[in-house]
């Protein structure tokens, strides 16, 4: 009878280990740093949660290059999304990926409007307690660097903290350093939770 | 020694059962029918895989109402997405959700371009062997019906098979009855797998 219980205990421990490995999918989906300063490019961000898309959005007076305005898609790691939906705030180890794609109307079928085509830029906005400022922006460089098949997840470089994108993300965003005012499903939750900055 | 093995066997069976329940998250994410003919609205489709967004896309000569072109976001159930990435085809029990949202440029910050706001329509394109034609389209009605908090997942009505959307989805689509030509990451896979129709 005693050995029966030992067998059960061993198997239960193995089972708990296997189940926690499965559950980790959600918890370990945040930023991964390389050499402490660079950000590994997630290979599966297209399976993360989509929070919004815009077209031709610019915060500067538009120039003359708006004939083919690009789309910007934003994705967030799933565990941080689920946390935001509960609290209206971003937890530690949150990573939002901004994917910029060319737009096109070139299709025999299409009589108006634009759809998305090639990837032209990939950037990230990260909230992490390991960062000196708590937040940082990263870029994975020009499109040619994004297609390096030999290294599917090259690390991204930090964008200097003095850049206009950082200032704007601090001063003009609806929730923390993120443009939740442009992500309608997140904005609704943030309003319910009272985490939206005054003025939004 | 014999009872030790029996204990181990019982616990292993329990473990397998628990693990398969966990794994089912992916396999049971497809269409769910109500009364055999209506389609339950998925409550979590915003956590499905985003495949593309377009703005103002129309297949008819544009009218005069393009001042605020809507966005159309398309999501697919995760298990079908993963299958497509392996094969370039949609498996049985695939559900693509089309979400139409108003667009806006009304923000003190925004100097050009448009972002997404309120939900205005929700439709689905379903591939399922239980359907007479193998595929069907569903709509969840006007926006007011979508906000029924008392029933978060009201069933959608089938769109009649003779409609122009069905003809167009049969004759003008790149892969099966889906507009993969407008979903760049899927199109790349379909080209690799040789599942794109001639002409695309």
Beta-bridged to residue A103, according to DSSP, are A116
Gap between the Cα atoms of B137 and B196, Å rounded: 21
Residue B26 has pLDDT above 70, yes or no: no
3-state SS of A19-87? HHHHHHHHHCCCCCEECCCEEECCCCHHHCEEEEEEEEEECCCCCCCCCCCCEEEEEECHHHHHHHHHH
The pLDDT value given to residue B173: 96
Helix (H) / strand (E) element for A18: namely helix A2-27
pLDDT digits (tens, 9 = 90+) for B182-195: 999 999 999 999 99
| Interchain contact, A5 vs B7, CB within 8 Å | yes
A99: Cα separation from own chain's centroid: 9
Task: Please give the average per-residue pLDDT across B46-69, as a whole number.
Answer: 86
**Å between A129 CA and nearest CA of chain B:** 26
| Interchain contact, B73 vs A53, CB within 8 Å | yes
Nearest chain B residue (CA) to A64: B112
pLDDT digits (tens, 9 = 90+) for A46-90: 999 999 999 999 888 776 555 789 999 999 999 999 999 999 999
With cut-offs at 50, 70 and 90, classify the pLDDT of residue A21: very low
What ipTM is given for this predicted complex? 0.86
Tokens in use for B183? 């979903």
Nearest chain A residue (CA) to B69: A113
pLDDT digits (tens, 9 = 90+) for B73-113: 999 999 999 999 999 999 999 999 999 999 999 998 899 99
Residue A179 has pLDDT above 70, yes or no: yes
- Taking only residues 118 to 147 of chain B, the set having a beta carbon closer than 8 angstroms to any beta carbon of chain A reads 118-119
Question: Which of B109, B172, B182 is closest, CB to CB, to A59?
Answer: B109
- Secondary structure E strands in B46-152: 49-58, 71-76, 94-104, 112-127, 135-139
Residue A157 has pLDDT above 60, yes or no: yes
The pLDDT value given to residue B54: 98
| Interchain contact, B8 vs A5, CB within 8 Å | no
**Å between B9 CA and nearest CA of chain A:** 8
What is the CB neighbour count within 10 angstroms for residue B2? 7
Tokens in use for A86? 């509960």
Q: Is B56 on the interface with A (CB under 8 A)?
A: yes
Quick one: chain B helix, strand, coil %, rounded to 5?
30, 30, 40
Show residues of chain B in contact with A168, CB under 8 Å.
109
**Domain B31-193: CATH architecture, name and number where available:** 3-Layer(bba) Sandwich (3.50)
Show residues of chain A in contact with B11, CB under 8 Å.
7-8, 10-12, 15
| Interchain contact, B62 vs A114, CB within 8 Å | no
The pLDDT value given to residue A29: 95
Question: Which of B3, B107, B112 is closest, CB to CB, to A3?
Answer: B3
Percent of chain A with pLDDT over 70: 80
Q: What is the pLDDT of chain A when averaged over all its residues? A: 86
The pLDDT value given to residue B28: 83
With cut-offs at 50, 70 and 90, classify the pLDDT of residue B18: low
Contact A82, B44 (CB under 8 A): no
Residue B27 has pLDDT above 90, yes or no: no
Residue A176 has pLDDT above 70, yes or no: yes
Q: CA-based angle B79:B52:B69, to the nearest 5?
A: 145
Q: What is the pLDDT of chain B when averaged over all its residues? A: 86
Q: Where are the alpha helices (DSSP H) in A65-159?
A: 78-87, 143-146
Contact B68, A43 (CB under 8 A): no
pTM: 0.86
Q: Is A33 on the interface with B (CB under 8 A)?
A: no
The pLDDT value given to residue B25: 44
What are the helix and strand counts (H, E) for chain B? 5, 8
Mutate to test the interface with B, among A50, A63, A173 (most CBs of B within 10 A): A50
Domain ranges of chain B: 1-29, 31-193
Residue A164 has pLDDT above 90, yes or no: no
The pLDDT value given to residue A65: 56
Burial track B27-48 (b if 16+ CB lie within 10 A, e otherwise): eebbbeeeeeebbebbeebbbb
Gap between the Cα atoms of B120 and B101, Å rounded: 5
The pLDDT value given to residue A7: 56
| Interchain contact, B112 vs A15, CB within 8 Å | no
**Å between B151 CA and nearest CA of chain A:** 18
Q: Is B71 on the interface with A (CB under 8 A)?
A: yes
- Secondary structure E strands in chain B: 33-34, 38-40, 49-58, 71-76, 94-104, 112-127, 135-139, 155-158
The pLDDT value given to residue B72: 98
Range from A37-51, A169-183, B26-40, B159-173 carrying the lowest mean pLDDT: B159-173
Range from A16-25, A111-120, A127-136 carrying the lowest mean pLDDT: A16-25
Contact B95, B81 (CB under 8 A): no
| Interchain contact, B59 vs A110, CB within 8 Å | yes
């Amino acid at each position: 009878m005693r050995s029966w219980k030992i067998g059960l205990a061993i198997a239960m421990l193995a089972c708990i280990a296997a189940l926690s490995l499965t559950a980790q999918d959600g918890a370990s989906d945040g930023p991964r740093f390389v050499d402490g300063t660079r950000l590994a490019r997630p290979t599966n961000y297209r399976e993360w949660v989509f929070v919004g898309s815009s077209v031709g959005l610019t915060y500067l007076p538009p120039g003359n290059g708006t004939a083919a305005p690009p789309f910007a898609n934003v994705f967030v790691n799933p565990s941080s999304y689920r946390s935001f939906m509960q609290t209206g705030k971003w937890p530690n180890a949150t990573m939002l990926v901004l994917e910029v794609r060319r737009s096109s109307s070139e299709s025999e079928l299409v009589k108006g409007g634009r759809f998305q085509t090639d990837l032209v830029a990939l950037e990230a906005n990260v909230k992490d307690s390991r960062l000196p400022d708590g937040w940082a922006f990263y870029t994975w460089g020009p499109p040619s660097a994004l297609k390096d098949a030999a290294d599917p997840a090259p690390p991204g470089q930090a964008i200097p903290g003095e850049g206009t994108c950082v200032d704007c993300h601090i001063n003009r965003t609806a929730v923390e350093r993120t443009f939740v005012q442009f992500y309608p499903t997140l904005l609704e939750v943030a309003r319910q939770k009272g985490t939206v900055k005054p003025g939004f």
